[in-house]
Chain A
């Protein structure tokens, strides 16, 4: 856009500037909140990660010492491992189950609204209540889950939250149960957007149920897949409250995840610099995955 020469061009520019200013003033309140509570603290976190600070005395610049120490900490390595395992299984199973439920409940049958609400309810339930209830469900001796498992013939049911092997699977199960409703709704809406003419054409061509799913339903849901995958991945990497109420990272450190580790280092050890370094690592991991996903999605959309 070159310098304005004519009176007409000058007027256009003032009008543009006016519009821009009006637009900016509309988003200013939200931006101020964003800047104060998110942008500035995040930047401060960057700064903290290369410093040592106990929250009160002066901050000391220590370069990359925090990061060097983190990678030697066995608890950090374990937390990272648990977070990755939790994310992989949570994401895959929640997506699969949410999609299956959406397909099953995408019909005009009696009571379909009741079932949809029942599946969605865990998502809005309080995390603390969920924690207390599932702890009772997963009680090793006499809990409902193990009693049922024994009734169908499994002699030695898992120890769940009392066992280092089964605690993480237990947490994954609760996480899937809690989230499937929300993503089912998303898939449900997308399913209803698929034109029925496609299915009719497929039936004429002699396609069976599985082929209809593979060639029509699944591909047509791609935008939803991307959204669901991204939301699930980000939320799973950040998981904290569910772990806290279910196992508090236990038994031992079997279910400790990155967010627990960051919290411990900040509020139990009062080592804010070290804790910020850990959150930087978490930020980088999530950021990288998200960027990769955006690139893939863009390529896919261009291709489509």
Chain B
């Protein structure tokens, strides 16, 4: 009996080896765009993006032969679940990619289709995307994602707190020094009813992004001295001036950035443009009465105004999809001039934008005055470039970030450790 069991075990092991060797062959068959076809489309938080809901409906109205079957995946585990779905050969045609930096890994695995053929066939002018397509063009020239949505960091502020303190609203050419000084003037009170001059969310991006704002560095540099002035600024605000809530409380209490701002507890907050549609939605639902405004992100002394940090959300086609033509029609629509105009009506910023689009967004229902000026940017540096190992580096930076913010490591020691660990990760 023992002998049989042993033989069986060995046989199973050998079988597993051979079983796993084969790579998946993508079936290249595509269907014409005139017969009825159903394409599946994976997204997260669909209901929170009314613009996208409208686009899906409009597309199906204009293309009666193409039906869109939506696959909704929970946002917190979207990237992992999507990867597992694609690994398992799941039948999804159009993919919205949540963490843009995972685009390269997906492409390296051969899971994303090359869109350059389609782009050429339909004569799409890529310059309309302000260079965003560069981030989704792989080293071998394949274009694997079209920029659907673009987001960058701006400064949100609470007009009521400014009025009460008699301080002028933030200007679009503020420096970080102006930000730090003004925060002191807007902080008042103590305990539960304290008003904070500013809010720095717990993401490492809310400190490290200002270091890459000038476009001269990225988070993949193996030496992070350019973070230093911003860590020093935020630690001053947290420990000395006490103009921001402390990291420890925010992290352990798992406090979402929207809460302190919408409740009127903080005067200013640097955050991404995606927050605009959330504020408008919450105000319409009557959940917040905030009197809000936006301004361009502050810049360092030696950086021109209008430089900010951001990213783009790409939409891609599954390389194993058997309905690539129909899928491309949908992707094309999502990123077309017509589609993006509709998308912008909900105060979301499409990847294809220009001054006219931004002006329209600024006029959208619920947007504050002066938004058009605030949204004008000269240069968007990518917070997470689309290269190898960016996920590992990002995770490491997050770990070191919490040590610095908690005071467990001095800024210098923390930055040195970041460099050491980055060299370990990238040196392999």
Whether the pair B253, A135 counts as a contact (CB closer than 8 A) is yes
Please, what's the 1-or-0 string for B23-53, where 1 marks a CB less than 8 Å from any CB in chain A?
1100000000000000000000000000000
Whether the pair A57, B254 counts as a contact (CB closer than 8 A) is no
CA distance A132 to B255 in the complex (A): 11
Most buried by A among B251, B409, B424: B251
Which residues of A sit under 8 angstroms from B248, Cβ to Cβ?
Answer: 140-141, 159, 162
Whether the pair B406, A269 counts as a contact (CB closer than 8 A) is no
Q: Is B426 interfacial (CB 8 A cutoff)?
A: no
Q: Which of B307-324 contact A (CB under 8 A)?
A: none
**Shortest distance between the CB of A49 and any CB in chain B (Å):** 12
Whether the pair A58, B87 counts as a contact (CB closer than 8 A) is no
Whether the pair B23, A47 counts as a contact (CB closer than 8 A) is no
Q: Is B75 interfacial (CB 8 A cutoff)?
A: no
Q: Is A56 interfacial (CB 8 A cutoff)?
A: yes
Q: Which of B119-127, B218-226, B281-289, B394-402 contacts A (4 or more CB under 8 A)?
A: B394-402
Which residues of A sit under 8 angstroms from B421, Cβ to Cβ?
Answer: 74
Whether the pair B13, A47 counts as a contact (CB closer than 8 A) is yes
Q: Which of A183-191, A247-255, A293-301 contacts B (4 or more CB under 8 A)?
A: A247-255
Most buried by A among B9, B12, B400, B406: B406
Whether the pair A40, B399 counts as a contact (CB closer than 8 A) is no
**Shortest distance between the CB of A159 and any CB in chain B (Å):** 7
Beyond A55-B83, A58-B21, whether A43 also contacts B9 by CB under 8 A is yes
Whether the pair B252, A138 counts as a contact (CB closer than 8 A) is yes
Which residues of B sit under 8 angstroms from A161, Cβ to Cβ?
Answer: 251-252
Q: Is A104 interfacial (CB 8 A cutoff)?
A: no
* Contact pick for A135, options B84, B254, B408, CB 8 Å: B254
Which residues of A sit under 8 angstroms from B86, Cβ to Cβ?
Answer: 56
* Contact pick for B254, options A53, A54, A132, A270, CB 8 Å: A132
Closest to A246 in B: B252
Q: Is B419 interfacial (CB 8 A cutoff)?
A: no
Whether the pair B254, A56 counts as a contact (CB closer than 8 A) is no
CA distance A56 to B106 in the complex (A): 10
Q: Is B166 interfacial (CB 8 A cutoff)?
A: no
Whether the pair B253, A139 counts as a contact (CB closer than 8 A) is yes
Which residues of B sit under 8 angstroms from A141, Cβ to Cβ?
Answer: 246, 248-249
Beyond A43-B12, A47-B17, whether A162 also contacts B406 by CB under 8 A is yes
Beyond A55-B87, A74-B424, A162-B406, whether A135 also contacts B252 by CB under 8 A is yes
Whether the pair A252, B400 counts as a contact (CB closer than 8 A) is yes
CA distance A139 to B250 in the complex (A): 10
Q: Is A154 interfacial (CB 8 A cutoff)?
A: no
Which residues of B sit under 8 angstroms from A115, Cβ to Cβ?
Answer: none
Whether the pair A57, B253 counts as a contact (CB closer than 8 A) is no
Interface size class of B (residues with CB under 8 A): 35 or more
Which residues of B sit under 8 angstroms from A43, Cβ to Cβ?
Answer: 9, 12-13, 16
Q: Would you call the interface of chain B mostly helix, strand, loop, or mixed? A: helix
Beyond A74-B424, A139-B249, A268-B392, whether A250 also contacts B402 by CB under 8 A is yes
Closest to A264 in B: B395
Q: Is B240 interfacial (CB 8 A cutoff)?
A: no
Which residues of B sit under 8 angstroms from A164, Cβ to Cβ?
Answer: 403, 406, 408
Beyond A47-B17, A58-B22, A140-B248, whether A270 also contacts B83 by CB under 8 A is yes
Closest to A250 in B: B402
Q: Is A136 interfacial (CB 8 A cutoff)?
A: yes
Q: Is B272 interfacial (CB 8 A cutoff)?
A: no
CA distance A141 to B391 in the complex (A): 33
Whether the pair B21, A252 counts as a contact (CB closer than 8 A) is no
* Contact pick for B13, options A46, A54, A73, CB 8 Å: A46
Beyond A55-B84, A56-B110, A253-B399, whether A162 also contacts B16 by CB under 8 A is no
**Shortest distance between the CB of A240 and any CB in chain B (Å):** 15
Q: Is A267 interfacial (CB 8 A cutoff)?
A: yes
Which residues of A sit under 8 angstroms from B168, Cβ to Cβ?
Answer: none
Which residues of B sit under 8 angstroms from A251, Cβ to Cβ?
Answer: 251, 402-403, 406, 408
Beyond A55-B109, A56-B86, whether A136 also contacts B253 by CB under 8 A is yes
CA distance A136 to B87 in the complex (A): 39
Which residues of A sit under 8 angstroms from B392, Cβ to Cβ?
Answer: 268-269
Q: Is B428 interfacial (CB 8 A cutoff)?
A: yes
Q: Which 5 A-B pairs have the closest CB atoms?
A: A162-B248, A55-B87, A252-B403, A58-B23, A56-B109
**Interchain Cβ contacts under 8 Å between A and B, 13 examples:** A43-B12, A47-B16, A55-B109, A56-B23, A58-B23, A73-B424, A136-B252, A139-B249, A141-B249, A163-B408, A164-B406, A250-B399, A251-B408
